[in-house]
Amino acid sequence: SYYRRFVENFAKIAKPLNDLSKKEAEFVWSPQCEEAFQTLKTRLVTPPVLAYPDFSKPFILATDGSKEGLGCVLSQVIDGVEHPVAYASRRTSHAEERSYCATDLELAALVYGIDQFRHYLWGVEFTVITDHS
């Protein structure tokens, strides 16, 4: 989806909506679907608004991996405040969900983030933040 780059954790939020498009799924608009739809609409029009990247400043890549999905945010500190530059997220595949431990999911999120933002990160130093110790 085009909009996933503008909403943090888009894949997790949109999961009930994506489940409706599965081949075997019956189309039933549940309260979870309505909540996901309303949340996405709100997130698209409210802060934080994405900042333009400043290639003279270092980037921060924050990643998170779980059984539900992989997510990352690329940000920069501008005037002492951290601002998001871009978001990326995707659902985990059935194989990842079934066979990856928490450490592997966190690593998969890091690899995914670096791949998604490679055009920003190529040849520059950046800081990685993950919630896995």
Domain ranges in the chain are: 2-130
Sign, CA torsion 47/90/102/125: negative
Mean pLDDT across the stretch 31-36?
A: 94
Asked if pLDDT for residue 2 goes beyond 80, the answer is no
CATH topology of domain 2-130: Ubiquitin-like (UB roll) (3.10.20)
Average pLDDT, the chain: 88
Mean pLDDT across the stretch 16-36?
A: 89
Q: Is residue 122 within 8 Å of residue 114, measured between CB atoms?
A: no
Bigger pLDDT: 46 or 80? 80
Per-residue model confidence (pLDDT) at position 127: 97
9 Rama class: left (phi>0) / alpha (psi -120 to 50) / beta: left
Rounded to an integer, what distance in angstroms lies between the CA atom of residue 99 and that of residue 129?
Answer: 24
Query: Using 50, 70 and 90 to split pLDDT, how confident is the model at 6?
Result: confident
Per-residue model confidence (pLDDT) at position 133: 63
DSSP string, 48-74: PPPPPP-TTS-EEEEEEE-SSEEEEEE
Asked if pLDDT for residue 121 goes beyond 90, the answer is yes
Question: Which residue in 118, 37, 113 sits closest to 128, CA to CA?
Answer: 113
DSSP H or E stretch at residue 76: strand 69-78
Q: How far is CA 99 from CA 12, 84, 106, 116, 119, in A?
A: 19, 31, 13, 23, 30
